A = this chain, B = another copy of it.
């Protein structure tokens, strides 16, 4: 069972031209062609397409994804290189999540701030609140 570039694009929820671009950049060396030159994706290719999508969604550049893909082409003999890339990416994702969590806390603070401003009638009145009236979790966001 084979899939065309358009079918794969739909599955991956990207533009077909994006898939062609990835191919041109060397991310899809495993994709075979028909006699007429049409790309023929196999079910078996989905594993690689998914990991490529995963690396892309977690911020890896096309260039670095290419490096990763090329370790596959060079055979079965060294899992460590691929493993290192995966483990490093895992650490990067954890950092991204920690950073997002910090930013989420800041947004929570701003929400509290505006809610309080509505209650008290103005932003100035929130600024005048004693520190004891500000939830402890928000103290780190105070500028003065």
Q: Which residues of A contact B (CB under 8 A)?
A: 43-44, 46-47, 50-51, 54, 57-58, 76, 79, 82-83, 86-87, 89-90, 93-94, 96-97, 99-101, 103-104, 106-108, 110-111, 114-115, 117-118, 122-124, 141, 143-144
| B104 close to A86 (CB less than 8 A) | no
| Interface SS, A side | helix
| B114 close to A83 (CB less than 8 A) | yes
Number of copies: 2
Contacts of A124 in B (CB 8 A): 76
| A103 close to B141 (CB less than 8 A) | no
Contacts of A46 in B (CB 8 A): 143
Find A97's partner among B47, B101, B110 (CB 8 Å cutoff). Answer: B101
Contact (A51, B110) CB under 8 Å given A93-B100, A93-B104, A100-B97: yes
A90 to chain B, nearest CB (A): 5
| B114 close to A79 (CB less than 8 A) | yes
A86, B110: Cα distance in complex, Å: 7
| B114 close to A82 (CB less than 8 A) | yes
| A58 close to B96 (CB less than 8 A) | no
A113 to chain B, nearest CB (A): 9
